[in-house]
Amino acid sequence: MNQKEALLIEMKVSIQNLLKAAQSIEKFESTVVTGTWTAREILSHVAAWDLFFADMSKRMVKGEPLPEWPDFDEFNKEAVLERKNKTKDQLIEEVRKARDIYVRFIEEQPGELIFNSRGYEFTVGSLAKDIIGHDNHHLKQLTAQ
């Protein structure tokens, strides 16, 4: 297995684990997981960050300028507000679709584009590793219940 294949497997497994844990939370709307966030809010921002990182990766492959990093608190707040009326199942499906978009994009790229910074501060692969770490961080929170 090459580095790209291993990365893709890790991306798929980490999101599957996160979604399985979220699915098992009965009080999805009200169970506070992080001290302030509910499982609903965690999934809302996971979906948003996957789409943001996928967009960043696409821009990197095209050699385009990257957007500024958003203010994390504001970005997360907006992600939650945009998804406030979605059901648990709809949110889980949105997260699954967002990750599928991200994974498919990486699958379509040659390995040298994934792991070469090409002048950026990071690589497409390192962004994907960050999102895996993000999944695992929230998985720990969801399973600590």
pLDDT of residue 4: 96
- Give the pLDDT confidence score for residue 141 in this predicted structure: 86
Q: Alpha carbon of 140 to those of 11, 14, 30, 134: distances in Å?
A: 16, 11, 18, 10
Which CATH number, 3.40.50.1000, 3.30.530.20, 1.20.120.450, 1.10.1790.20, labels domain 3-13+31-143?
1.20.120.450
pLDDT tens for the chain, residues 1 to 145: 899 999 999 999 999 999 999 999 888 887 676 678 888 999 999 999 999 999 999 999 999 999 999 999 999 999 999 999 999 999 999 999 999 999 999 999 998 889 998 899 999 999 999 999 999 999 998 888 6
Question: Domain coordinates of the chain in residue numbers?
Answer: 3-13+31-143
Per residue in 72-99, pLDDT tens? 999 999 999 999 999 999 999 999 999 9
Beta bridge pairs of residue 38: 32
Whole-angstrom Cα distance, residue 138 to residue 106? 23
